[in-house]
Amino acid sequence: MANFFSASQEEQQEILLSFWQKYRYALIASLLLIALAIVGRDYLQTSTLEDNLNSASQYQEYIEAETDQKALGEKILQSYPDSIYSDFVRLNEAKRNYIDGDFDASINLLIYILENKSMSPSEFDPIIAVAQTRLAKIYIEQQNFNEVISIFESTGEMTSSMHELKGDAHNGLGQFSLARESFMLALQNSTNQTARAIINMKISDLESEEVE
């Protein structure tokens, strides 16, 4: 490089020409890679934005639909299976199936959400929390108490409802001390007076059961 700067203009041109002839293919390839990377990045950003807008629009249509809502939901699930709107559809369809008495279909949808979303003990994910809570309520109704406890085993941050459901499960298994512990945690995390009154009643019922 020192020779280049100390050379005359003609020598510099000759050095550049020699350098170009020697490395032109590598330089062209590098420039093409850079151009492709920029185009690819811009395409992905544009494509992602369009997908988000389209999925949001379709979800709005799904929510507002008075007929064929299930078909619209299936369309979202097929077109954008990994989007947050597909999880919203699954949660809504799980609720619909539960109301219709199809517990198995509801359970399958909720389990799908939990199995396909990454769960971090240190981060609270509201979609996971809703899916866990609804699934636990179904299992409580079916008296599958061990399944309820299993749902919350790897959950770091739990809501009052989660603690209460876990307490119900322990109570159903006759594990009264563990049930009390869960109910107390539910009480600590609840600001709703009606919910607190119900939890206090459950704690009182535990005391009577332990005496018996």
Backbone angles phi, psi at 157, to 5 degrees: -100, 115
Give the largest CA-CA distance in the chain: 105
Q: Which amino acid is at 132?
A: Q
Per-residue pLDDT, 122: 66
> Model's pTM, two decimal places?
0.72
Q: How far apart are CA 159 and CA 179, in angstroms?
A: 16
Per-residue pLDDT, 61: 86
DSSP, collapsed to helix, strand or coil, labels residue 157 as: coil
Q: Are 167 and 186 in contact, with CB atoms under 8 Å apart?
A: yes
pLDDT beneath 70: ranges in the chain:
1-29, 31-32, 35-52, 119-122, 207-212
Per-residue pLDDT, 1: 52
Half-sphere exposure of 181 (CA within 13 A, CB side): 5
Q: Which long-range contacts (CB under 8 A, 24 or more apart) does 117-120 make?
A: 117/87, 119/154, 119/155, 120/156
Per-residue pLDDT, 185: 95
CB atoms under 10 Å from CB of 134, counted, come to 19
Per-residue pLDDT, 84: 87
Is residue 28 within a helix (H) or strand (E), and if so which, with residue range? helix 9-64
Q: Are 89 and 58 in contact, with CB atoms under 8 Å apart?
A: no
Per-residue pLDDT, 2: 47
